[in-house]
Amino acid sequence: MSNIVGTASYASGEQEIFTDQKKFIQTVREELPYRSTSGFTFQVMAADAATRKAVDDLVYNEYGENNPLDLAHYQSTESEHQEKAAEGLNTALYKKMFAEQDTYRDWLLTQTPEEILHHTYEYTVREDILMSLENNDLTVEQASALLQSPSPLGDVFKEFENRDSSYMEDVLDCLTSRANDVMQQEQEARLALLQMPVYRYPASYAHEHEELPEYRASHKANIACRDAIDTAIADNYRNNSLGCDAVKQVVEQFGYDRTLYVLANTVRQKDGDGRISHDNKDWAKTVPVYEDKDSWGGDRNAEFVVDRAHPGLMDLFTTQARHDYLLTQPLTKEDIHHEAARILSRLQEPQKPNSPNETHFMAQISQDFLLRASSKDQDKLFSMLPFASLTFSGMKDRKGLFATISKEENRSQPLRKPSVRKKLEQMPEGQPKTPVPKKRGVER
């Protein structure tokens, strides 16, 4: 397909596009004298040097002058002219497509809403085509080819519509990308909330120490934690029982520190409620919750009291939270001693061997102890029980770990005390150790 060498337009709105250089020159020659009445205008596009000179000759001649430029001048400015021609062709193509889109829009606005919706995709893609042409240039040959079409915008849309494009893949990629971004933001927000320390002091203290932002953020998190506890209780209460996942649901968002702080504040605020156990009330008193009054004497701590759930369920939740938190803590010497004493008592209770084959006495080791105990903790427990035949082992058809002793053992023995060597090994480094007196020989 030939390049466009020039265009002509008239006052009537008629436009002509020329690919034949001789025809273009002839039209300029014939119409130029009548331009004042016909509104004739023309534009030279991708014409060669001879054509451009011939058209300029006609213009100079119309004004009774000779063209002062020779053919060599037009030949020397060929590359510059081609750049201008490409720009002119792209501009002309954009204007033609823009007018075509305006006509399409005007038609669309006369249609019913249903018909408009039916053409929404086409209208949007046509707008995108215009935007692409506005931001990118075609070559002289490409722009010339499209300009010769009566409806270049419609032609490009049909080409796009018939292609197997990755449009839906791009849509899916946007969906998944946006979803992943939201998930990442939520994860970051959860992590920030989980890592935010509990601000335990009142607003007056925070104001005095220029820590009001920390106070407000923590107070807001306390209220959110209150709501999460109410929700978790509602989500996990079934068949008159509170599910074991209730506490986990809250702790995963806020951590044990804030969860227990909000629960302690709630129990303290409900100190007169008989539906809350004395054990939880005593525990709550060990958690420091400072009085926090506002300007009107209102209690700001009341703003994060768990109040939607039944007090009895809140009490169960508190007990479960305290228990679950305890399982995350390492055992103390007192914990190990308490478990040893409990096992010893259980081994001493039966009148006859209570193992399945009735050859041993046995007592189950606490599951809570095992969840918290390291291998060293189990060794310490073992060493405190005073039985030579002692073993820790599982039982067929029974869950858990059991301490077993032979039926011949003397079960009245007390717990063993740590040896002097063990005590010395457990003393901090650098602390002077009490020397063990040497045994004296027999005096003669």
State residue 419's pLDDT score. Answer: 62
Any domain includes 433: no
User: Which range (22-36, 69-83, 305-319, 394-408) has the least confidence?
Assistant: 69-83
Any domain includes 439: no
> Do 313 and 354 fall into the same domain?
no
> Do 20 and 156 fall into the same domain?
yes
Final residue of a domain: which of 130, 161, 192?
Answer: 161
Any domain includes 75: yes
> Mean pLDDT of all residues in the chain?
88
Q: Which domain holds residue 52?
A: 6-161
> Do 318 and 395 fall into the same domain?
no
370, 327 Cβ separation under 8 angstroms:
no
Please give the structure tokens belonging to residue 182. 């939201």
Using CB atoms within 10 A of its CB, is residue 343 exposed (0-12), middle (13-18) or buried (19+)? buried
Q: Which residues pair with 299 in a beta bridge?
A: 293
Please identify which residue in the block is written with the tokens 């006509």: 103
Final residue of a domain: which of 287, 302, 326?
Answer: 326
Any domain includes 436: no
Any domain includes 297: yes
> By percentage, how much of the chain surpasses pLDDT 90?
63
> Do 264 and 296 fall into the same domain?
yes
Final residue of a domain: which of 326, 349, 375?
Answer: 326
Q: Is the pLDDT of residue 429 over 80?
A: no
User: For 179-203, what is the mean pLDDT?
Assistant: 89
Q: pLDDT tens digits for 212-239?
A: 999 999 999 999 999 999 999 999 999 8
> Looking at the 3D structure of the chain, how many domains does it have?
3
> Do 39 and 153 fall into the same domain?
yes
Buried (b) or exposed (e) across 351-372, using 16+ Cβ within 10 A? eebbeeeeebbbbebbeebbeb
> Do 268 and 398 fall into the same domain?
no
2, 45 Cβ separation under 8 angstroms:
no
> Do 311 and 344 fall into the same domain?
no
> Do 346 and 373 fall into the same domain?
yes
Q: Is the pLDDT of residue 363 over 80?
A: yes
User: Which range (33-47, 289-303, 368-382) has the least confidence?
Assistant: 33-47
Distance, in Å, from the CA atom of 79 to the CA atom of 83, rounded to the nearest integer, reads 6
Q: Considering the entire predicted model, what is its pTM? A: 0.54
Any domain includes 296: yes
User: For 282-291, what is the mean pLDDT?
Assistant: 94
Q: Is the pLDDT of residue 136 over 60?
A: yes
> Do 230 and 290 fall into the same domain?
yes
User: For 182-198, what is the mean pLDDT?
Assistant: 86
User: For 434-438, what is the mean pLDDT?
Assistant: 44
> Do 251 and 375 fall into the same domain?
no
Q: pLDDT tens digits for 234-262?
A: 999 998 889 989 999 999 999 999 999 99
> Do 18 and 38 fall into the same domain?
yes
Q: pLDDT tens digits for 368-385?
A: 999 999 999 999 999 999
State residue 77's pLDDT score. Answer: 80
Q: Is the pLDDT of residue 418 over 80?
A: no
Any domain includes 180: no
Any domain includes 124: yes
State residue 425's pLDDT score. Answer: 59
> Do 94 and 11 fall into the same domain?
yes
